[in-house]
Structure 1
Amino acid sequence: MNLFLLQIADTAQQIANAAQAATNENKDLSMINLLFQGGPLMIPLFLLLVVAVYFFFERYLAINKASKIDENFMSIIKDHILSGNVAAARSLAKNTNNPVARIIDKGIQRIGKPIDAIEKSMENVGRLEMYKLEKNLSVLSLVSGIAPMFGFLGTIVGMVQLFYGISSTGEYTLSTIASGIYVKMITSATGLIIGLLAYVGHSFLNAQVDKTVNRMEVASSDFIDTLQEPTR
Structure 2
Amino acid sequence: MNVLDLARAAGPLLWVLIALSLYVVYLTVARAQALSRLGRNADALIERARAVTAESGPAAALAEVDRAGHPAPAANVLRAGLGRADRGVDAAGAAMQSALLAEDTRLYAGLSALGTAAQIAPLLGLLGTVIGMVRSFLVFSSTAAPTPAQLATGISEALVNTAGGLIVAIIAYVARNALRARADRIAVAAERVREDLPGWLARPESRPRPEARLSRAQEYRDQNYDAQLYRDHERGTQPQQAGLTPVLAFDFDEASEKTRAISSGPNNTGVFRTTTPAKSAPAARSDGTGKGQ
Q: TM-score range by the shorter chain?
A: 0.7 to 0.9
Q: Deviations over 1:185-206 (max 9, x none)?
A: 1101110111121111111111
**2:41 counterpart of 1:69:** yes
Q: How many pairs align? A: 204
**2:163 counterpart of 1:151:** no
Q: State the 1:178 CA deviation.
A: 5.0
Structure 2 gaps, min length 5: 211-293
**2:174 counterpart of 1:168:** no
| Equivalence map 1:1-232=2 (5 Å) | 29-94=1-66, 95-173=69-147, 176-178=150-152, 180-230=154-204
Structure 1 runs (4+) deviating above 6 angstroms are none
- Rounded to whole Å, the distance in 2 between the matches of 1:47 and 1:135 is 21
Residue identity in the other structure for 2:182: Q
- Rounded to whole Å, the distance in 1 between the matches of 2:17 and 2:105 is 28
Residue identity in the other structure for 2:41: I
Q: State the 1:91 CA deviation.
A: 2.2
The structure with more radius of gyration: 2
The secondary structure found in structure 2 opposite 1:226 is helix
Residue identity in the other structure for 1:80: V
Tell which deviates more after alignment, 92-101 or 205-214.
92-101
Structure 1 gaps, min length 5: 1-28
Q: Deviations over 1:48-82 (max 9, x none)?
A: 00111111111111112111133311110011111
Is the 2:7–2:15 contact (alpha carbons within 8 Å) kept by the matching residues of 1?
Answer: no
Which one scores higher on RCO, CA 8 angstroms, separation ≥ 6?
1
Between Structure 1 and Structure 2, which shows a larger proportion of strand residues? 2
CA-based RMSD: 1.9
- Rounded to whole Å, the distance in 1 between the matches of 2:147 and 2:2 is 25
- Rounded to whole Å, the distance in 1 between the matches of 2:91 and 2:126 is 54
Residue identity in the other structure for 1:86: P
Identity of aligned residues (%): 28
Q: TM-score, normalised by structure 2?
A: 0.65
Is the 2:132–2:156 contact (alpha carbons within 8 Å) kept by the matching residues of 1?
Answer: no
Residue identity in the other structure for 1:57: V
The secondary structure found in structure 2 opposite 1:81 is helix
